[in-house]
Amino acid sequence: MTTSLWLADRHRPAESDFGQPSADVVVVGAGITGLVTAVLLARAGKDVLVLEARTAGAVTTGNTTGKISLLQSTMLSKIVARHGADIARDYVRGNREGQDWVLRYCEANGVLVQQEDAYTYAQSAKEVPSARAELTAGRLAGLDVDWDDDAGVPFPYHGGVRLADQAQFNPMPLLDSLIAELNNRGGRIGEGARVRSVSQQRGRVRLRVHSGQGEVDVDAGQCVLATGIPILDRGGFFARLKPSRSYSFAFEVPGDIPRPMFISAGSPTRSVRYAPVDGGERLIVAGADHTVGRKSPTAELKELSSWAQTHFPGAVQTHEWSAQDYTPIDRLPYVGPILPGNEKIFVATGFNKWGLTAGVAAALLLSSRILGGRMDWARAFAAWSPHEVTGITTAMQANLEVGFHMTKGWLMPIARSGASVPSEGGLVSGPPWHLQAQCAVDGVQHRVSPVCPHLGGIVNWNDADKSWECPLHGSRFAPDGTLLEGPATRGLTASS
């Protein structure tokens, strides 16, 4: 994958020196959820330190499609079916507060936002019932949605749900502004600082951090894990979330690009928006979703690119990128204490691709909780709640799949023993007592252990991203084994 449209040509220097290894609150993760949480706490006078393993926005926020919408594909119909209209209304209320906060902040700080209508549409006749169900669920949840039989678009369209006055943007200027405010309020950020472990000792939180300063122990009163998926196994969130990877293309097109944002009600996913750039606009098309580590989506990406070029003649690709998101077993985010009754370590995860609103709602909820307040809609975001029983069947199925891929990962490489590394690509081969992951990228070969340091799964090669991916819980690694994203906290070890 190349760099996303949002991260391309950025030259902001990383802030690696985070000063004193202590704070009232340490926030782990400098995406939109972590940075909004940090700013809200700093505004209240808390001493806040943000620790980011890579650079701000490098993982999910900087690789989104940039939609700030309350109409989220078929999310509401799934929530209503599992939890009823009351919980769906609370979910919408939380997302609305998140959306409102982002839009107010962007207006106050000169961050460009385009306010456009959003559509969940049927790309074929068989998707019409799903789109209609979202219309009904949206109205039950309090959204002023309507049905549009003809949106005037150049791609297959069989009617869709429309929600007016939603928004889209490039998320990186927002993160830059949040970092500037955090620094101005006495907060700090340490980039290139990977948290290896978190423990509690005598009422305090101790974080073991690997950074340019070496291994450092950071002391905190409280800690917020805003890392996509929690990097701690406490609470078993890795078993309550399904990691999904999706892909985006940006195109320069000679004709007009539709103004509204679109996302299909069925599969294959087709997500469409325009994006202003210097000297013009780009078309962004996204889709090709798959569970992390269980396939290499070469054919799906070719189909997605072909779809865009067919319906937007003359489109020329300029960027290609991917992002990782986590679907909770009961379709609702997990925001709150890592274990019931623990008011020292908090998590925010499970936004299912809609973190630009739900992630900000999580930041509002967590900062309020840390400061002694509450949100009336919090039950729709609870990390621990009776409503999760609706996801038990899904959880059982997901963990049966994990067990299958654990076994498959250890046994299948035997058949590849002695196989040569492709000129470009990767494979895992050998007997279980001597597995090796070998790859070649741009003529450079790498050899590492394929055993994921999280729970011992065997990684697979993703040709599209040129990375090793664990099919159990979504940890990803660069060709040389360097950790890209967790729940693992260490990279793959070198192999002889």
pLDDT digits over 368-425, tens only?
A: 999 999 999 999 999 987 655 555 666 566 666 666 666 766 767 666 766 677 778 8
Report the sign of the C-alpha dihedral through residues 335, 336, 340, 346, in that order.
positive
Mean pLDDT of the chain: 91
* pLDDT score, position 492: 93
Hey, is 483 helix, strand or coil?
strand
Burial 146-173 (b: 16+ CB within 10 A, else e): eebeebebebebbbbbbbeebbbbbbbb
Please report which confidence band the pLDDT of residue 17 belongs to, taking 50, 70 and 90 as the band edges.
confident
C-alpha distance from residue 129 to each of 18, 73, 75 (Å) = 52, 13, 14
Burial 25-53 (b: 16+ CB within 10 A, else e): bbbbbbbbbbbbbbbbbbebebbbbbbbb
Please report which confidence band the pLDDT of residue 235 belongs to, taking 50, 70 and 90 as the band edges.
confident
Domain with CATH 3.30.9.10 in the chain: 112-168+241-324
The residue among 403 and 54 whose pLDDT is bigger is 54
Task: Tell me the H-state helices in 121-264.
Answer: 128-140, 171-184
- Residue 223: pLDDT over 80: yes
Q: Which amino acid is at 34?
A: G
Cross-strand pairs, 441: 444
Please name the helix (run of DSSP H) or strand (run of DSSP E) that holds residue 451, with its range, or none: none
Domain with CATH 2.102.10.10 in the chain: 396-485
Which DSSP letter does residue 369 get?
A: H
- Residue 162: pLDDT over 90: yes
Task: Tell me the H-state helices in 153-297.
Answer: 171-184
pLDDT tens figures, 351-373? 999 999 999 999 999 999 999 99
Structure tokens at 480: 């040389």
Structure tokens at 451: 């055993």
Q: How would CATH label the architecture of 112-168+241-324?
A: 2-Layer Sandwich (3.30)
Structure tokens at 240: 């309550």
Please name the helix (run of DSSP H) or strand (run of DSSP E) that holds residue 21, with its range, or none: none
Cross-strand pairs, 218: 207
Residues 300-315: what's their mean pLDDT? 96
Task: Tell me the H-state helices in 371-477.
Answer: 392-411
- In this structure, how many other beta carbons lie within 10 angstroms of the beta carbon of residue 323? 22
Describe the chain by its helix, strand, coil percentages, rounded to 5: 30, 30, 40
Say if residues 336 and 255 touch (Cβ distance below 8 Å).
no
Poorest-pLDDT segment among 61-70, 225-234, 427-436: 427-436
Say if residues 197 and 320 touch (Cβ distance below 8 Å).
no
Please report which confidence band the pLDDT of residue 433 belongs to, taking 50, 70 and 90 as the band edges.
confident
Residues 443-466: what's their mean pLDDT? 90
Distance between CA atoms of residues 255 and 258, nearest Å: 10
The class level of CATH for 396-485 reads: mainly beta
pLDDT tens figures, 151-161? 999 999 999 99
* pLDDT score, position 392: 60
